[in-house]
C-alpha cells in the first residue's frame, strides 16, 4: 500500500467516515450520470455546429461558391492589350491607346521594417499619391498586397521615377562601399563602418501595373465619325463601335498552376494588341470643313433665337471615283476626350418625347438641370452622326436623280420642253414652283438650272411611278449604303411603293419632298450620277493594319452597281454645271475662285408644311471637267427668320472648296477677279510673289 | 459491503457496458477505442496531405513535407500510446507533481529560448527540426494532477469552498502562465476547461455549476457588448478586434477577417458531398489551411457529409471514453478519462466553432487531424492512459468473473 493510500485512509477515518475502504475510491453512479450530462452537452454542441454548417451552406452556399471562383480569377491576372490606332489617310493619329501605369501598393512589404515606411510613403507622394491617406490605409490594412493607389500614371512620370530610384540606390550602395573602404583604411572592421542613411534602398512595396487609356489627340476632330470608348475598350458610336472587334486585341493572362509533381508553374500568355485602322478621311480636309461649319454656327448663333446657328450643319466630301470619305463633319460636335460634357448640349433643340427636335432650345442652365435619363437622350443626340444617322426630305438636290432616271429609261428626251406657270394642279391640289411668277418654257437643263418644281413634276409624270420607284431603288434610296460606320439609319419606311403612290406623291417626290434620305445616301448616289454611273459603296476605312504595321486587309473601292449609263451621266454633269454657272443658276454662290464646279441646291420644307422651317443644302462636284470630289453641305433649320436660303449652303460649300481644292493639288483653271485674288491672299492661298504657272497664264491673259 | 459492491458492478455490467463484457475473451485492449482512434488518424493523414500538399510544395519544395512529419509523429505517438497503456495508470499519480513542475519549467523556458512562429512565441526547439509546444504537455500534466488532487480531497470536501477551489489551482497557474508568457489564450481556456470538467463530474451538486455557467455567459455577453460599444475608440488589443471580426467578418475582409471569411467561403462552396478529395481551391487561399482551418477544407472537399462524419467520429470516440470512465475500477482512472474527454471535446468543439465563425477566432487545432506534432504526440499519450484505465477494468471484470466462478 502506498504512502498516499495510507494517508488518505487515515484522513478518511479522521473525518468520521466509518466505511474504511480497502481499494481506491470508486467512481459513483452519480458521477457516471454527470459524465452522461457532459456527453449530452458535447453532443448538443456538435449537433448545433452541424446545424450551423447546414445553415452556412443553405444561406450562403451560392455566393460563397461564386466568391471562391472569382478569387481564382483574381489569382489569374489578366494582362491588358493595346487597342488599335486610328489614323487618317496621311498618318495623322486620330485615336490611340497610351500606355499608362496603375500604382500598386503592397502594404505587407512596406510594413516589414519600420525604416521602409517613411521612404516608401515619400516615394508614393512623389507619384501623386496622398501621403497621409496612404499611411492611414497601410496602417489599417498591414497585410494588404494589392491596393491600386493611383491610376493612369503617365509613362514619362513612371520612367522618371524608376530612373531616380535606380540612381539613388546606386549612389547609396556606392557611398556605403566607400564608407567600408575608409573604415578598412583606418584599420577598423567593415561592420564598424559608418552607416549610410538609406532612402532609396528602403523604398519598398511600390510597383506598377500596365494599363491603357484611349486618347484622341485631335479631340473634337471628326468626333461623330470616330466615336469613343467606354471603359477604355468598348467602342461607342462611329468607327470605335463599328470596328470594335478589329480594334480590340486579346487580353493576355498570367496564371499559376500545379504541375504533376505539384510544383507551381507560372505561365504568361502575352496579350495580342488590336489592329489599326487607316482611314480614307483626310484630317486636313476634315478640319477645313469643321472650321467653316463652326464659323457658320458662330455667325448665326443666337441670331433669331437662343441656340446654335442651325439644328445641324453637316458636310460630306467624298472621292467621286472610289466612294472613300474624305471628310464627314457635323455641328454641333463634342470633345472625344470628354464626351460626357453636358455643356456641349446647350444650344441644341429641345427633344420631344419621341426624341424629335422641337422649336425651343436648350440653354446651359437647362443642360445642367437635365435628369439622368434626359441627359443620356441629349448626349445620344449629340454623339450620333448626322451624316449617316439622320434622314430628312432632301429637296431639290433630288432633281438630278429624277432627270437621270427619265433620260436613262428614255421616257425623257434631251429635247423635251416643259411649261411652268408657277403652279401645277395635281390630284386637285395646286403645287407651287419656287418662282410663283412662272419660269416659262424650259428644257430639261433649264429645269435643273432654275430648280423648277413644275417642270420636274411633269417629268415625273412622264416617268411614271413604276420607273420612279424602281430607280429610287437603283439609286439606293430606302436601302442602307452599308458604310462602315455605326448607327446608319434605315429609310425604307420613308419611301413610297409604286402600288400606293398617288400622282401627288410622285409629283412631290420628283423635287425631293415627301420621301426621306440620309446624307450618305444622297452623296453616294450623286457620285454615281457624275462618275459615269458607278455606284461605289461609301467607305471610310481604307485599310486595316496589324499592330506591327503590315496590312491585314484593304478596303478597295467596291462598285455595287451601275446606276446609269455614261451618256446620261455626261448629261447630268452638264446640267449640274449649268445649275452653278448658268444665267439663272440657283447655285451660283457655290463656285470657288479659280475653279469650275457643278452642283444642285436644295431647299426642303420640313413637316408640318408651312411651319417656315427648312433644310437647305448644296450637292455638288468639283472640278467640273474632271470630277474628283463630291461635296454635300446640309444646313438643318438655320437660326434665322428666313430659313429657306439655299445660298447659305452654297456659300459654305464655296468656302470649303476654296481651301480644299488647292490642298488636293487640283489646279485652278479659271481666271481670278481682283476681288477673288484678294480673298485668296487673305486665306494665304495666293502668293503674289510666287504665283503658280496657271495663275501666271491667266494673269498674262488679262 | 462486498455484496453492495457486486450489486453496483452487476448493475453497471448489465446496463451500461455490455460491449466491454463481450470483448472479455479477446484480450485486454479496448479495440473499439483503438479502432476509432486509428480511423481518425488515418482520415486526418489523408486530409492533411490533401490540404498541405500545396503549401508544402511552395514553401518546402516537397508536397509531402507535412505528411511525412505528421506520419513520424503518428508512429512515435502510437508507440508511446502502446507503452503508456500497459503501464499501470495509478503510477501516474507519482509523476503528477513532477509533471506539473516540468510543464511550468518548460513554459518558463519559452521566455528565453522560445521560437516565434506567426508572431507568437509558443515553441521550444529540442533539436533541429524538432520542437514542442509546452502547452500541449501542460494539458496532460493538468489531467494527471487534477485527478490526483480531486482524489485526495475526496467527494465530501469538494463541497467546501477550499475543496472546490484547490483542484483549480494548478490549472489556474498554468493558464495564467500560458496567457501571459505565450499569449496563448485558447490553450489557457482549454486547460481551465479540463480541470473544470473534471471537477464538475466529481462534485456532487449542480447548483454552483449552473450559477458559474450563468455568470460566464453573462460575462461573455457583457464583454462583447463592451467591445462593440467601444469599437471606434481603437484602443483594444487584438482580442477585442477578433470579437468585431466575429460579428461582421465582411467588414474586415482584407485583413483581420480574411482567414475567417475565406474559411466560410470554403465551407459554403463545398455543398453536400464536396468537390472531392484534393479538389479544394481554398487551400491555396485560407491561411493555416493545414492547421487550425483544416476543417474548412474538409467541408470544401468532402462537403457536409464528410464534415458531419468527422463530428460523428468524435462523438463515438467520446462515447467510448464515457464507457471506459464508467467501467473504471477507481475514481482516479475515471477522472483521468474525464479529463481526456473534456480536453478532446472542448478542443474539437472550439475548433469547429471557430472555423464556422460561431465564436470569435482563436487558435485551436482539431484533435488528431490538424497538423502539429506536439499536439498529436500528447493526445496519443492521453489515449494511452485511457486505454490503460480500460485495460485495468477489463482485467478486474475478468478477475471478478473468475471469483464468481470460484465461489
Which chain B residues are Cβ-neighbours of A68 within 8 angstroms? Answer: 265-266, 269, 281-282
Phi, psi (degrees; rounded to nearest 5) at A172? -65, -40
Cross-chain Cβ contact A71/B265 below 8 Å: yes
The answer to whether A459 and A402 are in contact (CB under 8 A) is yes
Query: Does A70 reach chain B within 8 Å, measured CB to CB?
Result: no
Closest CA to A225 of A315, A160, A109: A315
Q: Is B299 helix (H, G, I), strand (E, B) or coil?
A: helix
**Nearest-by-Cβ selection for B325 from A35, A71, A258:** A35
> Furthest-apart CA pair in chain B: how many Å?
77
From residue A270, give the alpha-carbon distance in Å to each of A211, A214, A246, A394.
14, 20, 18, 52
Cross-chain Cβ contact A64/B8 below 8 Å: no
Query: Does B290 reach chain A within 8 Å, measured CB to CB?
Result: no
| CA dihedral for B134, B136, B139, B141, sign (positive or negative) | negative
Query: Does A63 reach chain B within 8 Å, measured CB to CB?
Result: yes
Which chain B residues are Cβ-neighbours of A15 within 8 angstroms? Answer: 154, 156-157
Q: What is the pLDDT of residue B145?
A: 93
Cross-chain Cβ contact A25/B155 below 8 Å: yes
Paired residues of B121 in beta bridges: B116
> Beta strands A534-536 and A559-562: pairing type?
antiparallel
Q: What is the mean pLDDT of residues A487-509?
A: 89
Cross-chain Cβ contact B341/A35 below 8 Å: yes
**Angle in degrees, 0-180, between the axes of helices B134-153 and B168-181, rounded to the nearest 10:** 160
**Torsion of Cα atoms, A279 then A283 then A288 then A294, to 10°:** 90
**Within the 362-401 window of chain A, which residues sit less than 8 Å (CB to CB) from chain B?**
none
Query: Does A108 reach chain B within 8 Å, measured CB to CB?
Result: no
Taking CA atoms, what residue in B is nearest to A9? Answer: B152
Residue appearing with cell numbers 461582421: B248
Which chain A residues are Cβ-neighbours of B299 within 8 angstroms? Answer: 53
Q: Give the contacts of B249 (CB within 8 A, at least 6 positions apart).
A: B257, B260, B261, B264, B357
Closest CA to B138 of B177, B80, B90, B81: B177
**Nearest-by-Cβ selection for A38 from B197, B299, B332:** B197
Residue appearing with cell numbers 468520521: A16
**Nearest-by-Cβ selection for B311 from A8, A49, A141:** A49
Query: Does A263 reach chain B within 8 Å, measured CB to CB?
Result: yes
Q: What is the pLDDT of residue A606?
A: 87
Whether the ω angle into residue A332 lies within 30 degrees of 0, i.e. cis, is: yes
Q: Whole-angstrom distance between the N-terminal and C-terminal Cα of chain A? A: 149
Closest CA–CA distance from residue B8 to any residue of chain A (Å): 8
Q: Is B372 helix (H, G, I), strand (E, B) or coil?
A: coil
Paired residues of A315 in beta bridges: A329, A633
Query: Does A250 reach chain B within 8 Å, measured CB to CB?
Result: no
The answer to whether A515 and A472 are in contact (CB under 8 A) is yes
Cross-chain Cβ contact A261/B63 below 8 Å: yes
Helix (H) or strand (E) holding A438: none
- B9-18 residue pLDDT tens: 444 444 444 4
Cross-chain Cβ contact B269/A68 below 8 Å: yes
Q: What is the pLDDT of residue B296?
A: 92
Cross-chain Cβ contact A38/B356 below 8 Å: no
Taking CA atoms, what residue in A is nearest to B322? Answer: A35
A390 Cα distance to chain centroid: 17
Query: Does B322 reach chain A within 8 Å, measured CB to CB?
Result: yes
Q: What is the mean pLDDT of residues A516-525?
A: 94
pLDDT tens per residue, chain B (407 residues)? 333 444 444 444 444 444 444 444 446 678 888 999 999 999 999 999 988 888 887 777 788 889 999 999 999 999 999 999 989 888 888 888 999 999 999 889 888 887 777 667 777 777 676 778 888 889 999 999 999 998 888 877 887 888 888 889 999 999 999 888 888 888 899 999 999 999 888 887 788 888 888 998 999 888 888 888 776 665 556 667 788 888 888 777 767 788 888 888 888 888 888 888 887 878 877 888 888 889 999 999 999 999 999 999 999 999 999 999 888 888 899 999 999 999 999 999 999 999 999 988 888 899 999 998 888 999 999 999 999 999 888 888 888 888 877 65
Whether the ω angle into residue B36 lies within 30 degrees of 0, i.e. cis, is: no
CA–CA dist A318, A621 (Å, integer): 9
CA–CA dist A290, A288 (Å, integer): 5
CA–CA dist A283, A94 (Å, integer): 8
Query: Does A269 reach chain B within 8 Å, measured CB to CB?
Result: no
For residues A6 and A433, which has the higher predicted lDDT (pLDDT)?
A: A433
For residues A17 and A608, which has the higher predicted lDDT (pLDDT)?
A: A608
What ipTM was predicted for this assembly? 0.89
Rounded to two decimals, the pTM is 0.60
| CA dihedral for A65, A67, A68, A72, sign (positive or negative) | positive
Which chain A residues are Cβ-neighbours of B53 within 8 angstroms? Answer: 262
**Would the pLDDT of A28 be above 80?**
no
Closest CA–CA distance from residue A70 to any residue of chain B (Å): 11
Closest CA–CA distance from residue B232 to any residue of chain A (Å): 13
- A237-249 residue pLDDT tens: 999 999 999 999 8
| Best residue of B268, B314, B357 to probe chain A, by most A CBs closer than 10 Å | B268
**Within the 134-153 window of chain A, which residues sit less than 8 Å (CB to CB) from chain B?**
140-144
Cross-chain Cβ contact A56/B268 below 8 Å: yes
Q: What is the mean pLDDT of residues A571-598?
A: 90
CA–CA dist A380, A376 (Å, integer): 6
Q: Is A89 helix (H, G, I), strand (E, B) or coil?
A: coil
| Best residue of B54, B203, B269 to probe chain A, by most A CBs closer than 10 Å | B269
> Of A7-21, A111-125, A224-238, B232-246, which gets the smallest average pLDDT?
A7-21
Taking CA atoms, what residue in B is nearest to A65? Answer: B269
The answer to whether A630 and A620 are in contact (CB under 8 A) is yes
**Nearest-by-Cβ selection for A12 from B154, B204, B271:** B154
The answer to whether A98 and A155 are in contact (CB under 8 A) is yes
Q: What is the pLDDT of residue B236?
A: 56
Residue appearing with cell numbers 419656287: A434
Reported as half-sphere exposure (CB side, CA atoms, 13 A), residue A591 has a value of 24
**Nearest-by-Cβ selection for B304 from A15, A54, A75:** A54
CB count, 10 Å around CB of A436?
A: 9
Q: What is the pLDDT of residue A23?
A: 46
The beta strand positions in B202-242, using DSSP E, are none
Domain assignments of chain B as residue spans, ordered by start: 2-89+205-406
Whether the ω angle into residue A608 lies within 30 degrees of 0, i.e. cis, is: yes
Query: Does B266 reach chain A within 8 Å, measured CB to CB?
Result: yes
Q: What is the mean pLDDT of residues A158-186?
A: 86
Query: Does B353 reach chain A within 8 Å, measured CB to CB?
Result: yes
Our CA angle for A318, A323, A324, nearest 5°, is 65
Query: Does A57 reach chain B within 8 Å, measured CB to CB?
Result: yes
> Beta strands A276-279 and A86-87: pairing type?
parallel
Give the helix ranges, DSSP H, for B274-293: none
Q: What is the pLDDT of residue A403?
A: 93
Phi, psi (degrees; rounded to nearest 5) at A230? -105, 135
Query: Does B16 reach chain A within 8 Å, measured CB to CB?
Result: yes
Which chain B residues are Cβ-neighbours of A36 within 8 angstroms? Answer: 322
Query: Does B104 reach chain A within 8 Å, measured CB to CB?
Result: no
The pLDDT-based confidence of A370 (bands split at 50, 70, 90) is confident
**Angle in degrees, 0-180, between the axes of helices A646-663 and A674-683, rounded to the nearest 10:** 70
Amino acid at each position: 500500500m502506498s504512502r498516499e493510500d495510507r494517508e488518505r485512509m487515515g484522513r478518511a477515518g479522521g473525518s468520521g467516515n466509518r466505511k474504511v475502504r480497502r481499494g481506491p475510491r470508486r467512481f459513483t453512479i452519480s458521477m457516471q450520470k454527470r459524465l452522461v450530462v457532459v456527453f449530452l452537452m458535447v453532443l448538443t454542441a456538435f449537433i448545433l455546429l452541424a446545424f450551423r454548417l447546414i445553415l452556412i451552406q443553405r444561406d450562403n452556399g451560392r455566393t460563397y461558391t461564386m466568391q471562391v471562383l472569382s478569387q481564382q480569377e483574381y489569382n489569374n491576372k489578366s494582362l491588358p492589350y493595346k487597342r488599335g490606332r486610328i489614323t487618317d489617310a496621311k498618318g495623322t493619329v486620330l485615336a490611340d491607346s497610351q500606355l499608362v501605369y496603375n500604382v500598386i501598393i503592397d502594404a505587407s512589404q512596406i510594413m516589414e521594417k519600420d525604416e521602409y515606411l517613411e521612404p516608401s510613403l515619400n516615394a508614393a507622394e512623389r507619384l501623386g499619391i496622398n501621403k497621409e491617406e496612404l499611411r492611414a490605409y497601410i496602417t489599417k490594412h498591414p497585410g494588404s498586397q494589392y491596393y491600386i493607389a493611383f491610376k493612369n500614371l503617365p509613362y514619362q512620370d513612371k520612367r522618371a521615377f524608376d530612373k531616380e530610384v535606380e540612381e539613388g540606390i546606386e549612389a547609396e550602395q556606392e557611398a556605403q562601399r566607400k564608407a567600408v573602404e575608409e573604415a578598412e583604411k583606418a584599420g577598423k572592421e567593415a561592420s564598424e563602418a559608418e552607416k549610410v542613411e538609406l532612402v532609396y534602398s528602403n523604398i519598398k512595396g511600390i510597383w506598377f501595373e500596365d494599363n491603357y487609356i484611349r486618347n484622341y489627340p485631335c479631340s473634337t476632330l471628326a468626333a461623330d465619325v470616330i466615336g469613343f470608348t467606354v471603359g477604355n475598350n468598348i467602342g461607342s458610336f462611329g468607327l470605335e463601335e463599328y470596328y470594335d472587334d478589329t480594334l480590340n486585341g486579346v487580353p493576355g493572362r498570367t496564371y499559376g498552376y500545379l504541375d504533376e509533381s505539384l510544383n507551381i508553374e507560372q505561365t504568361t500568355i502575352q496579350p495580342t494588341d488590336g489592329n489599326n485602322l487607316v482611314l480614307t478621311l483626310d484630317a486636313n480636309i476634315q478640319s477645313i470643313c469643321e472650321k467653316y461649319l463652326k464659323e457658320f454656327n458662330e455667325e448665326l448663333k443666337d441670331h433669331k433665337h437662343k441656340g446654335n446657328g442651325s439644328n445641324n450643319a453637316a458636310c460630306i466630301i467624298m472621292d467621286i471615283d472610289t466612294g472613300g470619305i474624305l471628310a464627314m463633319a457635323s455641328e454641333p460636335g463634342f470633345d472625344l476626350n470628354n464626351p460626357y460634357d453636358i455643356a456641349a448640349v446647350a444650344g441644341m433643340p429641345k427633344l420631344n418625347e419621341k426624341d424629335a427636335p422641337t422649336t425651343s432650345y436648350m440653354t446651359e442652365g437647362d443642360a445642367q438641370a437635365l435628369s439622368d435619363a434626359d441627359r443620356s437622350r441629349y448626349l445620344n443626340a449629340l454623339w450620333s452622326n448626322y451624316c449617316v444617322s439622320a434622314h430628312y426630305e432632301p429637296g431639290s438636290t433630288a432633281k438630278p436623280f429624277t432627270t437621270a432616271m427619265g433620260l436613262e429609261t428614255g421616257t425623257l428626251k434631251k429635247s423635251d420642253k416643259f411649261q411652268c406657270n408657277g403652279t401645277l394642279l395635281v390630284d386637285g391640289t395646286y403645287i407651287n414652283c419656287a418662282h410663283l411668277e412662272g419660269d416659262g418654257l424650259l428644257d430639261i437643263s433649264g429645269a435643273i438650272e432654275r430648280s423648277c418644281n413644275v417642270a420636274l413634276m411633269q417629268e415625273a409624270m412622264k416617268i411614271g411611278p413604276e420607273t420612279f420607284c424602281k430607280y429610287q431603288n437603283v439609286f439606293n434610296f430606302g436601302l442602307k449604303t452599308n458604310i462602315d460606320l455605326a448607327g446608319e439609319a434605315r429609310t425604307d419606311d420613308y419611301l413610297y411603293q409604286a402600288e400606293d403612290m398617288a400622282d401627288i406623291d410622285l409629283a412631290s417626290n420628283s423635287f425631293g419632298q415627301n420621301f426621306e434620305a440620309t446624307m450618305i445616301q444622297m452623296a453616294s448616289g450623286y457620285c454615281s450620277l457624275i462618275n459615269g454611273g458607278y455606284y461605289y459603296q461609301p467607305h471610310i476605312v481604307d485599310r486595316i493594319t496589324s499592330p506591327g504595321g503590315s496590312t491585314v486587309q484593304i478596303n478597295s473601292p467596291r462598285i455595287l452597281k451601275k446606276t446609269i449609263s455614261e451618256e446620261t451621266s455626261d448629261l447630268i454633269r452638264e446640267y449640274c454645271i449649268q445649275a452653278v454657272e448658268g444665267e439663272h443658276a440657283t447655285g451660283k454662290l457655290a463656285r470657288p475662285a479659280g475653279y469650275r464646279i457643278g452642283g444642285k441646291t436644295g431647299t426642303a420644307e420640313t413637316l408640318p408644311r408651312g411651319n417656315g422651317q427648312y433644310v437647305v443644302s448644296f450637292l455638288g462636284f468639283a472640278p467640273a471637267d474632271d470630277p474628283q470630289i463630291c461635296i454635300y453641305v446640309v444646313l438643318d433649320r438655320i437660326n434665322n427668320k428666313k430659313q429657306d436660303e439655299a445660298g447659305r449652303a452654297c456659300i459654305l460649300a464655296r468656302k470649303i472648296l476654296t481651301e480644299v481644292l488647292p490642298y488636293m493639288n487640283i489646279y485652278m483653271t479659271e481666271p481670278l477677279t481682283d476681288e477673288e485674288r484678294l480673298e485668296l491672299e487673305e486665306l494665304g492661298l495666293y502668293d503674289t510673289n510666287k504665283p503658280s504657272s496657271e495663275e501666271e497664264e491667266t494673269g498674262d491673259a488679262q | 459491503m462486498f455484496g453492495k459492491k457486486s450489486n453496483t458492478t452487476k448493475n453497471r455490467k448489465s446496463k451500461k457496458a455490455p460491449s466491454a463484457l463481450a470483448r472479455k475473451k479477446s484480450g485486454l485492449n479496448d479495440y473499439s477505442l483503438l479502432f476509432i482512434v486509428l480511423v481518425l488518424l488515418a482520415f486526418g493523414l489523408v486530409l492533411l496531405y490533401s490540404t498541405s500538399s500545396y503549401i508544402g510544395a511552395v514553401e518546402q519544395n516537397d508536397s509531402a513535407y507535412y505528411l511525412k512529419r505528421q506520419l513520424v509523429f503518428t508512429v512515435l505517438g502510437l508507440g508511446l500510446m502502446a507503452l503508456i497503456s500497459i503501464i499501470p495508470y495509478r503510477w501516474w499519480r507519482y509523476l503528477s507533481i513532477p509533471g506539473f513542475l516540468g510543464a511550468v519549467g518548460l513554459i518558463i523556458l519559452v521566455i528565453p529560448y522560445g521560437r516565434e512562429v506567426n508572431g507568437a512565441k509558443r515553441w521550444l526547439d529540442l533539436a533541429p527540426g524538432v520542437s514542442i509546444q509546452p502547452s500541449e504537455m501542460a494539458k496532460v500534466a493538468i489531467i494527471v494532477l487534477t485527478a490526483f488532487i480531486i482524489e485526495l480531497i475526496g467527494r465530501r470536501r469538494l463541497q467546501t469552498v477550499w475543496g472546490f477551489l484547490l483542484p483549480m489551482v494548478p490549472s489556474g497557474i498554468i493558464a495564467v502562465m500560458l496567457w501571459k508568457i505565450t499569449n496563448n489564450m485558447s490553450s489557457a481556456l482549454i486547460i481551465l476547461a479540463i480541470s473544470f470538467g473534471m471537477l464538475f463530474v466529481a462534485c456532487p451538486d449542480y447548483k454552483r455549476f449552473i450559477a458559474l455557467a450563468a455568470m460566464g455567459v453573462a460575462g461573455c455577453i457583457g464583454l462583447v457588448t463592451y467591445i462593440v460599444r467601444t469599437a471606434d475608440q481603437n484602443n483594444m488589443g487584438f482580442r477585442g478586434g477578433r470579437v468585431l471580426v466575429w460579428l461582421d467578418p465582411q467588414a474586415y475582409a482584407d485583413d483581420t477577417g480574411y482567414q475567417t471569411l475565406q474559411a466560410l467561403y470554403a465551407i459554403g462552396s463545398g455543398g453536400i458531398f464536396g468537390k472531392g478529395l484534393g479538389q479544394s481551391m481554398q487551400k491555396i487561399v485560407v491561411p493555416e489551411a493545414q492547421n487550425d482551418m483544416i476543417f474548412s477544407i474538409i467541408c470544401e472537399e468532402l462537403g457536409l457529409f464528410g464534415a458531419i462524419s468527422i463530428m460523428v467520429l468524435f462523438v463515438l470516440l467520446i462515447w467510448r471514453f464515457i464507457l471506459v470512465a464508467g467501467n473504471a475500477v477507481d475514481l482516479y482512472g475515471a477522472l483521468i478519462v474525464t479529463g481526456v474527454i473534456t480536453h478532446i471535446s472542448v478542443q474539437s468543439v472550439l475548433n469547429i466553432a471557430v472555423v464556422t465563425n460561431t465564436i470569435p477566432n482563436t487558435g485551436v487545432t482539431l484533435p488528431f487531424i490538424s497538423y502539429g506534432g506536439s499536439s498529436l504526440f500528447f493526445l496519443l499519450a492521453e489515449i494511452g492512459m485511457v486505454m490503460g484505465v480500460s485495460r485495468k477494468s477489463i482485467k478486474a471484470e475478468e478477475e471478478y468473473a473468475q471469483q464468481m466462478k470460484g465461489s
